[in-house]
Structure 1
């Protein structure tokens, strides 16, 4: 009697080669992947065509081809543009990941060919000053050819750019309207806020720490409405049943803030890591007050499923080492999970 033939499991490579090429065999191309990502980004076929520098008829043809290949409707046209279907959103999400990985492969090969490497980091200001810059300097002392790109901004902009593949990783916070399951998140620490004024400010002459009630009587320089630092400060005043501080200038620009502080009696909140640098010159000073203000912790964030390049991984490892260092020196100190 003949024994039944045993089917051996395919290796991971063979599985990829023989089980994942059906869509490509049926005609799916990179141009299709670019188009579906552009459609999801813009919500308009015409704008997606403009983004890809092609005509609207050509864009519509690519959409039709994708729907034929997948045998599924990818979007619904409306008076204000297109609404992606579940299938369309799924394809766009996967397409974005594939395009990012192709770009990263090119980048990593160039790094291997020329040496050095590149890293793209997005960070909130405090984390950039305290963690990112020192880590990059450490890595560059070992590899002088490393080229680092650091972008500073609010978390919602940084996270959007992370998902678009513009950053290797971000040190910031996940916006409340985003699903945290899209990311790998390593919480770091909260951000302590200090209040800064010009040298010679009248409140600096007071012998006791200034009360929040007294502070509310002065003009403030605050980030724009909706900014997390501003919301945190306003929540503190509200919890003390105090009037909200009046912001005569709304700006997230450090240069604008410093320029305004130097010629007025305004008060400006800043991250502790930043104030320690700015106080050195003596132009501005920290104002002691009888309360504490902390912003919720920021984290080291990567897109789930995305593998860091060797250069980016090295910088990330050095940042994490800086986080762990105080813990090693002071065993009693614990970091948030």
Structure 2
């Protein structure tokens, strides 16, 4: 069957934006058109496809099964066309842009080294880094707004249908500032509950590993908690308070070497989670994304072999 030539680029862009926003109003704002225009374009597309693509409700819209099936192909189609247009714009093509989603587990050491090596080899390359929880980054990867996502994400249900490549394993650890009262003498685990606790956000992949470590330690979570994915905020708060940080080891590795932070020895080691790269095999990778993928693999190998950091 031939493709209906009445299906236009605007139909696909409208469909993808509504799927991304989950709301006709927000999609209209993003595309700078009226909500009736969005509704009309969607109705045209559904009529051309002879299928209902969205379920409407008071809270917004959600994809039907037909919509999910169409999303799998519409996203790559639009992205491929955008890549083709960009390839004809000499300035953009020569410099190249890679859009990398970064989870908090890798933003302290892995990603800075990856960017350093990329810029050393490709001086005009633009590396656009987006941070956030795995659910958000994987959703952006699925619709083509990101090229790659790096970090711990294997426990996220949104990874289904995407491709994950393991780089190395990383454990969680409990750290405090130098001179913390818990470092003064033999550790009583029950005393851990007397201090504020810094944890990843609830519902994130890394939080599951942190909660697992808490259970293994046999302690209860204190009422005073800071829940965040910001490594910078966590570090600063711990350095200026008596808080305990359940941190990914890479986030505190250099602080431990400098003696600014110290590990709390519990006699238990969290087994570690898989840090890796997620990609969308339904979307073609740009040349810049291939460069980034190669360097991520290279730095990951250096991690496994103890060459870096």
TM-score range, shorter chain: 0.7 to 0.9
Mapping 1:1-337, distance limit 5 Å: 22-24=3-5, 27-110=6-89, 115-172=94-151, 173-174=153-154, 176-178=156-158, 180=160, 182-206=161-185, 210=187, 212-279=189-256, 282-325=259-302
1:32 shift after superposition: 0.8
Structure-1-length-normalised TM-score: 0.78
Q: Which moved more, 1:55-64 or 1:277-286?
A: 277-286
- The CA deviation string for residues 69-96 of structure 1, in whole angstroms up to 9 with x for no partner, is 2233334544554454333332233222
- The CA deviation string for residues 297-324 of structure 1, in whole angstroms up to 9 with x for no partner, is 1221101222211121112112212333
* Structure 1 contact 212–290 (Cα < 8 Å) conserved: no
SS at match of 1:60: helix
**Bigger-Rg structure (1/2):** 1
Corresponding pairs, count: 306
Question: Structure 1 regions of 5+ residues with no counterpart?
Answer: 1-18, 331-337
Distance 1:117 1:43, change over 3 A: closer
* Structure 1 contact 219–266 (Cα < 8 Å) conserved: yes
Question: Structure 2 regions of 5+ residues with no counterpart?
Answer: none
Structure-2-length-normalised TM-score: 0.84
* Structure 2 contact 96–125 (Cα < 8 Å) conserved: yes
Distance 1:109 1:44, change over 3 A: same
Query: What RMSD in Å do the two structures reach over aligned CA positions?
Result: 2.9
Distance 1:213 1:77, change over 3 A: closer
- The CA deviation string for residues 182-201 of structure 1, in whole angstroms up to 9 with x for no partner, is 21111223321222212211
- Please give the alpha-carbon distance, in whole angstroms, between the structure 2 residues aligned to 1:241 and 1:325: 35
Distance 1:278 1:287, change over 3 A: same
- Please give the alpha-carbon distance, in whole angstroms, between the structure 2 residues aligned to 1:137 and 1:55: 43
- The CA deviation string for residues 251-302 of structure 1, in whole angstroms up to 9 with x for no partner, is 3323332332233222112222221223455443333332212442122110
- The CA deviation string for residues 159-203 of structure 1, in whole angstroms up to 9 with x for no partner, is 1221232221011314533252x2111122332122221221122
- The CA deviation string for residues 109-168 of structure 1, in whole angstroms up to 9 with x for no partner, is 446766232222112233234433223322322222222122333222221221232221
